[in-house]
Structure 1
């Protein structure tokens, strides 16, 4: 049984980490968040210590180190994107391995810095890249590997996840803290595309604002037209008013069904990490570099066959 701490306990994704810790037979010893809306802890790990000041959380962790049976083994990081680097480094320096939500960090330079801290401390950083554990994704990866055809797959990725007015008032709406909509809601899709279709060869942005982005990615084995949005107005008519989220990936015109099967992927990720098969810094590098380019790229018109169908409505 391993001892866990969790940073960012009041966040949206934190309960999935709490449940993964419990479901893998481990214990949440302490949790930290500047916000105190963490009542979910009562139904998962009611004995956990909780702190709203990082200094007190850190001091408690140092005290636990004096007793090998009570010392923390892992720190899970679910804090806002811009704090990941600092919180990961703090966890490593506590003598813990760290499990962090995506995006791991904003840039390849920060990945290099974390690699140095890993070397200094002898601890490891793991990124939650849960789509790599989804059965539909694994099946497609196997299919692509087996076929080895010369012609690239034609892929269309559309992800619309409606967000209310609160979003732009929160850290998620501040690109200095979330690193923009493509990074915040898209980084795991870019990881998935690399996981299935190989190395990225071309990265072009056709549209970007605070609510949506679109572009073209070309991989070793695929040409991908992508569109991401948090604007409910972008939902297809068949979905609007019924569901807040629309997720679609077509491969050579055939819809890939992966709307289900997400519920337990964090637990699967924890099981793999605890078994020594987690995804680390170098596994995350490709998608970090992809969003880093997207954030800095100049918007260009879509070449023939490279524009997502949603582009036409965006330019009206």
Structure 2
């Protein structure tokens, strides 16, 4: 990566490939690729390997386009928040106009190419996902409601459904449950982060639940969403997309996740401040592992099904 301090002090700095790539939120793109890949592979219809590769590539590009447009719109608050201050726009490596151009170009390219490679139902769902994340979430509701992360989570939950639709051409219960897995996971994941990063959202004026309703309410919400998540996650194990490996994994993961949510719920602010939010940070770190292992288990069951 380019040295940030150099870019902010040198007016003649020219953006490098890595700066533009960072606009696409590559870490988020990794999740998009992985969950879309799993959604496509567990579908009952097989795609030609080359078509499947193209589908995942264009879904990834669409996810990256959403990230670029989100960074363009949120450049003002990104510059305020410590967690995002080093992103390409606030650090001066890429201009807002360049980010907008990249986002729009990649959005159109990804949707058209996915439609040509697979089917227009998948392309339409990808287009809706980009629109939802950029317009509905980023532009409209992120700065308006404390339920912003719940709404924004829907955009991140669409990739496995898009992968499924790319293979089958239609939406099914299995794809809805894979969507629900990510959708219901997102609020506990981000609210745990918000519990120990509240000052960032305070300074930026983003109405995160921790800011508008306080930490006790946020802790209750984490527990409620985790309970609902566990129900949907285990339910997925009883569908054609799941299997014994996924079901066993889901039971273990969700039992552990529920324990973490319960531990967060029963804490008070004195406990949290005393150990620098150790429980919340541990829950947040485990949440990253939770989603990877859940979709990984689906992938294992799909591979076993092919071998048998």
TM-score range, shorter chain: 0.3 to 0.5
TM (normalized to structure 1)? 0.33
- Which one has a larger percent strand, Structure 1 or Structure 2? 1
Larger relative helix fraction? 2
